[in-house]
Amino acid sequence: MPDFARPNAVSPRDEVLLRADNVSRSFGGLKAVDRVSLAVRRGTVHAVIGTNGAGKSTLINVLCGEIPASEGSVELLGRDVSRWSQPRRAQAGLGRSYQRNTIYAQFTVFENCRLSAQARLQRPWDWLSSAARCDFSGTAARRALEKAGLAAQADREAGALSHGQKRQLEIAMCLATAPRVLVLDEPLAGMGAEESERMLSLLEGLKSEHAILLVEHDMDAVFRVSDEITVMVNGRVIATGEPEAIRSNPEVQEAYLGDEAVH
């Protein structure tokens, strides 16, 4: 239950772990992201919502380093990472999950996480020891699976999981690299009520240790779990603030919430 009586959550003590500063991205003549600024603080969930084509995916791709920004800068843990490649940002503590499942279907659930965790301690010259017996990545993987609630599925082939479990695995792979900042692209996509509930509890549990940037279409979930919401329309930010403020914002209602049946 959202607590609307909560005092102003944006206190000066809250560290900004991920920041976008006037980020723009154009494709030829089309400006997909237009001077977007936002800040994700430690211990909070910052949601980005908007209609289809609002530029949310492009924004995330820029934040994560998959495509460069045309203008503006991205700051991760206080450092300017605008020119950093995606792997480098991931090494610095930025974890990402994708809207479409990017799990390795033919590997086991355990191996999915173990391989992701391996990114944190790479020893490519070590050909003699078996990866399966690697302590570092194995432990990290088990921990991530525990947190995501998939420990029991560890030895199953990832492709055989249910859709909801696959989305959980998507998050677990993200957690396996022990990131400080999580960027989650529609984690609830295609989920039923029960699975969504499980995912939301997971997100609420993760909040305390991480800063989470969440892109979601499920409005109930967004309002339930977010501390701050940014609304994008046509590449621009039209409103940003606490859930209640957003819900009662007339511009937002007109542009977006009015079309969405809040169920």
Min CB(90)–another protein separation in Å: 4
Which has the closest alpha carbon to 18: 183, 161, 163?
A: 183
Q: Show the CA angle centred on residue 227, arms to residues 226 and 233, nearest 5°.
A: 70
**Distance (Å, whole) CA 66 – CA 18:** 16
Q: Is 96 in the site for another protein (CB under 8 A)?
A: yes
Please say which residue, 213 or 255, places its beta carbon nearer to another protein. 213
Q: Is 70 in the site for another protein (CB under 8 A)?
A: no
**Distance (Å, whole) CA 96 – CA 212:** 10
Min CB(84)–another protein separation in Å: 11
Strands 30-41 and 16-27: antiparallel
**Distance (Å, whole) CA 238 – CA 252:** 7
Please say which residue, 68 or 192, places its beta carbon nearer to another protein. 68
Q: Amino acid identity, residue 148?
A: A
Q: Is 127 in the site for another protein (CB under 8 A)?
A: yes
Q: Is 256 in the site for another protein (CB under 8 A)?
A: no
Min CB(236)–another protein separation in Å: 26
Interface ranges with another protein (CB under 8 A): 64, 66, 85-88, 90-91, 95-96, 98, 102-107, 111, 115-116, 118-120, 122-132, 134, 137, 173, 176-177
